[in-house]
Structure 1
């Protein structure tokens, strides 16, 4: 079980083996021309695809194993839309929305309708048809998918990796989620608690002590009796109640004495028969992080003193447990997290926009998402070697794209604008480092951004245009234009000028 669900991070070997086999399934799908894929297709699914192939009683152990591992691929994959001709609107998994990836709207169109029927033209969604045929959630999910003007084939991608390629690590996680039978609401609350525990700045041995206590794995007398050990369950310290985990660490008079001076625990009441983990979740929600860390150390020290009494027949009753816990925690934290003021902090230096070479134009592009209005704003500005503005664009798009896709679209718009106005040769600057690296490597990944980089690379093939990365401070004018676009209702183009709202920023960049 993972640490976020109450385990210690050890893998479930059954699910892990399934994720490993799913890797081989992915190779059959992504490399259909390989020898292995062609042999298996000829034997088991000559007229269909691997995803819908049926298990055969006479199939080999290899084939049965692949069918067993295919469940994970089915749970975590979806179609990336290219030309949309091979993906059915109803039934196929193509929306970027786990866990079904399918539309939930009532069926209005014909069941055999493909995604390509939702295009006005290649690369352009029919917004009127989409909003009339689908529920608003489905419509927004559809319009968030980027389209290419090129005739790209539809492609199966792995949703849970940025590269959209299958990795065993994410396949294992999908398998764990798929196999889990726990209530999602309670599981979500407990996930928050476990993550909070493992992030505490306390010694690992105390984290594991709390972890064992939450699972009732401390050797209290009640837990020993449940395990078959013949013993009296009456608390060995107070001789009043059964020694449960909650009683030993919270309800026993000795435990209460150890909490003397803990003002941050005033008002928290908990019964001896209650679940200790629920007590910890309650305290974690009510206490400040520092106070909760002290509380965890105090519980660990309380258990230590209980063991001194039970196994050593002695206990230092004069010890200030709270004071000891605070000193212990301070020493641990000061050793492992020294004061930030002792670190050397590099002074931030102001970064300015740099003029292009003489005879070259520079195009800065940016994109900003507006979740409230479900829009993406595109900003483009073109300047010459003197820093003079040659043109600018603000373009709102009625779709909410991921940041990487939106910035790739902004680069594409910048290239198209420079070509339309014959502002060549051109240097395109963007603060999307990952997208710039993909373009300069000539890579068209199978992710959604790959749909846009395909069009960009096609334009760059025969034009004197280069793409470079620029930090956000040097791209501030384009960012401002993108913010304006995200609030606008229509596109605007300026020639040899820029909006009044960015003139001061342009003058700040001017370095002739």
Structure 2
């Protein structure tokens, strides 16, 4: 959403908001070069970080090239970096793209480009097409056909380049979590748990939120993920009440990291157990929140039994719904099948228009490799149904 607002500033520089932001934060440069500056507003700080997404997907469309700076704007074509890499000869930093074109003709000055830039950079410049139909120098968004940035395409780009990078990527069996046979709310909790996103008191302290570190359920130990879901007496009794004590006490699931425990369970247990575990964890977390905010407490037996009953009620309905969807898909999907070796298959289709008095017939002959051998279309003057015509 913020990247979309940054796009609006870039596309509409004459609006009052764009002029105010430019005058305050980057009066002598472009938005892509603007520094964060001292004591920025929350809005500008958000826009300053969001421009990273914008810089990955936008590019200048070249008309005259007068408004495009060679070294400071993204204008090269291709999936790799759209900026001309540094360092380059000193004189290049003051040039616009117009200086690299022929006089009175929209084409690259090949000799000048090769003289100013190294071989690989020169080739990238010369490979950038110059389209005569372009009427103005303008920033376009490459992720959309219409050249306009959208929240959807920005999100996809962020997922592809930023979250998918090594800095943010966390290795693990994430598909095992999302394929767990459990309600979506339980799978989402499982994902948050593995990503360290649950606001336990230990996590809050890590984010400089001052609070009492003791667990609100037992008020004895520091509340982190391992304690609240696996080590707390209430949690352990809840596992037993849910019929999952064998999972809790299994030596293969005693890792010190909660993410490793969850991944191990998803890898080694049956689909039923993998579905019941996140449901139980969700109930434990709900009980914790109910105690914290409403001072309501459930017994471990109530927590465990509710988790078991909730999953048992959900699973048959989910299974029935999935089976109905698969049957509907299979029933509505008709695929052509190849004939046996040495055989030829003839497919026939017939159509007619009421009131015309004529019927159209089409035939197609194909061999066992699916190759068309012959075909025919024909009009019949007699009026007949499609079933009669195909017969």
For normalisation by structure 1, the TM-score amounts to: 0.41
Higher Cα radius of gyration: 2
Query: TM-score scaled to structure 2, two decimals?
Result: 0.50
